[in-house]
Amino acid sequence: MNLPPAIALIGPTASGKSDLALEIAAYFPVELLSLDSAQVFIGMDIGTAKPDREIRARHPHHLIDLITPKDRYSAAQFRSDALRVMAEITTRGRIPLLVGGTMLYFKALVEGLAELPEADADLRAAIDADAALRGWPALHAELASLDPATAARLAPTDAQRIQRALEVLRLTGRPLGDFWQKQPASPLPYRLLSLALMAPARQMLHERIAKRFRVMLAQGLVGEVEDLRSRYRLSAELPSMRCVGYRQVWEMLEGRLPPQELADRGIYATRQLAKRQLTWLRGLGCGGHLAVEFDLAESATAAKIRQNIEQHLAAI
């Protein structure tokens, strides 16, 4: 069976994925799909580095602006939406190009989803109450003692995923990894070429992160969060406001973070996100969809990526 081609361009935040995707779109008949869990939120444009209207007019991006910041969007919803849009793109005779750094979405897409126990409202309320008393970093430490593999992939402040991992542990006595290992096969119905931007020399990536976050502040990130707070009933525990950058601005607006520390805290949090993304990439198995790695610092990276895509498409 000849599967249709698809391409994924993945990598840490601020690694230049978006610019490279536009270069790819200039050479090949692709349509872009966002692989970014923050860009699904309407109105969250500056802090997510969302493509502007001019770029999106020239190169339409799918799976952007799907829900409001007061709503939630799961990896299962992403997989369903992505497969639907990819099928539509293929029907048009074009090639899906997934671009982003949300590795959980990528893993869900190429491997399928584990059959996890249903949510337990009472247990979640108990975990939330515990977090209110002790803080999410303390619950992260608890998770690390019980399920170190899952805890290693999560930030100590990632309330949603820490809560879910602890919920599964308390409901079943088993770590999340057990469910992933025993999940039913759900192969991606595409011949996927995965291209990963890596950063062997971290200093360059750190400099790009710092520059980009300061640009976001100059572009009005604080005003964007203020506007969202006035338009929607939001809280610090919503996935939207836990996104890097938005969390730090929220803390500043609530008086818990001095304004003069906002830039440094946002840059630090973004570096930690990039570190976790690179950890995911280094351990990437993804159902046999191993990524071809490229050094984002190399000047020839764009040309090498185009060559890989040409070879991938020639093999149809």
**245: nearest Cα among 217, 219, 279:** 217
Instruction: Look at residue 157 in the predicted model and tell me its pLDDT.
Output: 82
Tens-digit pLDDT profile for residues 167-200: 999 998 988 878 766 655 577 999 999 999 998 8
Query: By CB neighbour count within 10 A (0-12 exposed, 13-18 middle, 19+ buried), where does 189 fall?
Result: middle
Q: Mean of the per-residue pLDDT values for the chain? A: 91
Domain(s) labelled CATH 3.40.50.300 in the chain stretch across: 5-113+186-314
H or E stretch including 8? strand 5-10
Residues contacting 200, CB < 8 A, separation 6+: 295, 297
Tens-digit pLDDT profile for residues 67-88: 999 999 988 899 999 999 999 9
Query: What percentage of residues in the chain have a pLDDT greater than 90?
Result: 71
**CATH homologous superfamily of 5-113+186-314:** P-loop containing nucleotide triphosphate hydrolases (3.40.50.300)
Strand spans (E) along 155-237? 191-198
3-state secondary structure of 274: helix
Tens-digit pLDDT profile for residues 239-295: 999 999 999 999 999 999 999 999 999 999 999 999 999 988 887 644 445 789 999
Instruction: Look at residue 183 in the predicted model and tell me its pLDDT.
Output: 56
Q: What is the pLDDT confidence band of residue 158, given thresholds at 50, 70 and 90?
A: confident
CA distances from 26 to 29, 51, 78, 156 (A): 8, 16, 26, 40
The identity of residue 190, as a single letter, is Y
CA–CA separation, 17 and 9 (whole Å): 7
3-state secondary structure of 87: helix
Instruction: Look at residue 287 in the predicted model and tell me its pLDDT.
Output: 43
Tens-digit pLDDT profile for residues 214-234: 999 999 999 999 999 999 999
Tens-digit pLDDT profile for residues 39-60: 999 999 999 999 998 999 999 8
The CATH number for 121-181, chosen from 3.40.710.10, 1.10.20.140, 3.30.465.10, 3.90.1200.10, is: 1.10.20.140
Instruction: Look at residue 187 in the predicted model and tell me its pLDDT.
Output: 79
Domain(s) labelled CATH 1.10.20.140 in the chain stretch across: 121-181
- The structure tokens listed for 243 are 């996104």
